[in-house]
Chain A
Amino acid sequence: MSGTVTFAHTEEQALFRDSLRKFLDTTSPTTRVRQVMESESGFDAQLWKRMADELALPGIGIAEAEGGAGFGWTEVCIAMEEFGRTLCPSPFMASSVLSMAALASMAPKTGAALLSSIASGERHCALAAQELQGQWDFDAWQCTATQQGEGWRLDGVKHLVVDGAQAQTLLVVARQSDRRTLALFEVEADAEGLVRRPLKVIDSTRRLALVSLTGAAALLLGPAGEHHSGLERTLDLASIALANEMVGGMTRLFADTLAYTRLRVQFGRNIASFQAIKHRMAELLIQVELARSAAHYAASAADAGMDNLSYLASLAKSLASDAYLLAAQEAIQLHGGIGFTWDNDTHLWFKRAKSSEVFLGTPVWHRERMIRALEKSVEKSVEKSGERAGERSGERSGANA
């Protein structure tokens, strides 16, 4: 997985997008989204099975050796963009993005069986990483893992776990009590000492749970790596996927709002003919297209194996967070009163925009992460040039002697 970043999708990627778009438009209009989001499970299990059988979607980014389709993160992100466009509730985010990224980054070998059951769509996994304290500041995480015979026991609380109440398997990040380092563990839904409380959420198309573990039995999957590199990569891949999902959502909001301004007549003219409206749409278009460029670039950078992925992921996530929220606010404003009603669909995306803004870290947190990444690379280059300067002065003193 290395190469160069590209600025256009291939024919195959475009075809994939078109077919998925058709599928989702047919199966998941907002009338259906509204039914599903009020159901108990929060997703349509039959539709998820069709996505697996007809489109091989759950394993789109999983290697062929593990039973996946073997595509790159770009394809995962194309799927996310289409999911974001339609808001179709499905296990894709929890299983095929968050869990898949964690397994691929922290447990590529031990997680093979889990990956293949995710790829087939049989198993619904959820990643339990974040805690009540500290967003994605790994050092603040407290959940502990204590070895007991062959297995482990987990104690702690995990917060904002996507599909945490519905998943069959939880992937839990916990601190190994013997060495104080973080690692990824597998906990089955029926484990004793596991309590999952569905949280009340503003966006009911994305379910969250609070997960308590009290001596819950767990299997060790793999370490988080030096400097949490495996966790960082998980966060990078997930943030990039989320940024692309947000781009899909804001694009839909933009198109629907544009269409509405053309229909709506006030003062004897379509409101789209007022400069006050046109200028807002032009400005919004800029923010949407900048977010799209950053999200696509970051996806391509993940596939190209670029080493500043954390910087690019946080850049894409922060731009998308702000642009999506702006798009949602503008959509409601330009729809006027009807945009604030339950029956109008705009609020569905507004709620997704608001929850995506802070999910996986707020834009403020991600901008701080960008600068930290820059500082690290500045330090590295200073070290390097220091070494070079040292070599040179060494040469010089040698010549003088």
Chain B
Amino acid sequence: MSTPDRDAVRQEVRSWLDANWDPDASLIAWRNKLVDSGWGMPEWPEAWYGRGYPAELVRVVEQEFGQAGAVTGAKAGIRLLAAATLLEHGTDTHKRAWLRRIITGEDTWCQLFSEPGSGSDLAGATTRADLRGDEWIINGQKVWTTSAHHANWGLLLARTDWNAPKHKGLTFFVINMHQPGVVVQPLKQMNGHASFNEVFITDAVVPRENQVGQIGNGWAVAMTTLAHERRRADGLRSGSSDGDRRSYRRGRIHEEEDAENKTVLAPYTWYPQRAGRTDLALPQAVASGRIVDPVVRQELARLLAMSSAAEWTARRARAAQQAGKPQGPEGSLGKLVASHVARQAQKVHTLIAEGDSMLAGTDSPLQGIIAEILLSVPAVSIAGGTDEIQRNIIAERVLDMPKEPRFDEGPFRDIPRN
């Protein structure tokens, strides 16, 4: 199969949008059209609602959608991680059952990986799955589950063999979240938001056909999910933008999409603050007059230097990738650098706000944004892999330094755990 060129794709998507885009259509009907035409997820394979396009052509399609102000397939939340995992490891039955409703937005998903006893050491999961007839019976507790309160489906990592070594005894499932054995409770964070949930699973049922991949191969499947999560986080950090299509929104379909976003995007409102809001530092220093303080000037300059250099490092990685060069160290540093930037940003915001850093809500500078920054930054060096784990990854995979001696080999049931 030959790949069409950019101009041809631009023409094709443009004339398709001219003929089909209708702001007064219903959201679901429109997205079903996207599924059938392949324009919803052009990067997906042709056999599964896509067009098999490489990233550069996908960008062309996105640009044209942005230009037309047209609504795209549903993308927010965990759904695309679920889709990527199913596309790689799912059966045709799985793909038929779930992929369409992922794009239309009719289903939302969550990721049941972390547990109270296994955070960084994800493979130490102790949620159990036991086969009874044609059903898997699930028991255990998951945590940090974004969107679990509205998700229809969960990606579940559970232990099926306690005598195998820990990475070999896990199996991957898709679990129906709407069943009596699944109880979801919000988990309130130190910044007052409750973006995550605890999920208590008691004798919940997963039909055998909802097992993804082989028994005992769950770790490899979960790695696919996490690789996509990391890639997406890198995209967010390097500032890839959604286009400016949000400036022009009118018609029924936009109202429906706004309602959907209200639910799906709610957990993420504080994420920009978690990253430190470097963009607010200079305007705040100028507006408050604190820009005259030599210490503010020094620390602000440090922040701006670090944050620009971080962005240039990401662009260097992309340029090398586009030139087909092997990935250098610059590609693996983004997450750890983001922690440094966030911490420096909170330091600068504190230097600027001085005593008012003690205030919260509408009494805090910028109607609470500064307080939210100060109370959210501690999450950035933990979520999605702690700084400590990132340092291990850089040292072992990028610098090829030898691994630490391990104490968790042999049958899982003999390994010390929480």
Contacts and interface: CB of A to CB of B under 8 A. Distances in A.
Nearest to A268: B405
A355 interface: no
Interface stretch (A63-71, A100-108, A161-169, A291-299): A291-299
Interface stretch (B68-76, B167-175, B332-340, B356-364): B332-340
Interface residues of A, number: 38
Nearest to B392: A278
Contact of B401 (A278, A286, A290): A278
A282 interface: yes
Nearest to A366: B301
Contacts of B286: 378
A10 to B, nearest CB: 10
A291 B312 CA distance: 10
B313 interface: yes
Given A286-B337, A290-B337, A371 B300 contact: yes
Interface stretch (B114-122, B210-218, B315-323): B315-323
B304 A8 contact: no
Interface stretch (B12-20, B29-37, B290-298, B408-416): B290-298
Interface string B250-291: 000000000000000000000000000000001000100001
B399 A285 contact: yes
Interface string A263-298: 000000110111101110111011001110110110
Contacts of B316: 7-8, 293, 296
A7 B312 contact: yes
A279 B25 CA distance: 54
A370 interface: yes
| Chain B residues touching A, majority SS | helix
Contacts of B298: 364, 367-368
A261 interface: yes
Given A318-B305, A371-B297, A270 B402 contact: yes
Give the 4 A-B residue pairs with the shortest CB-CB distance, closest first.
Answer: A278-B395, A367-B301, A7-B319, A293-B312
Interface of B: 282, 286, 291, 294, 297-298, 300-302, 304-306, 308-310, 312-313, 315-316, 318-320, 323, 325, 329-330, 333, 336-337, 340, 388, 390-392, 394-396, 398-399, 401-405
Interface of A: 6-8, 258, 261-262, 269-270, 272-275, 277-279, 281-283, 285-286, 289-291, 293-294, 296-297, 315, 318-319, 364, 367-368, 370-371, 374-375, 378
11 contacts: A270-B402, A279-B392, A282-B399, A286-B337, A294-B305, A296-B316, A367-B302, A368-B301, A370-B305, A374-B282, A375-B291
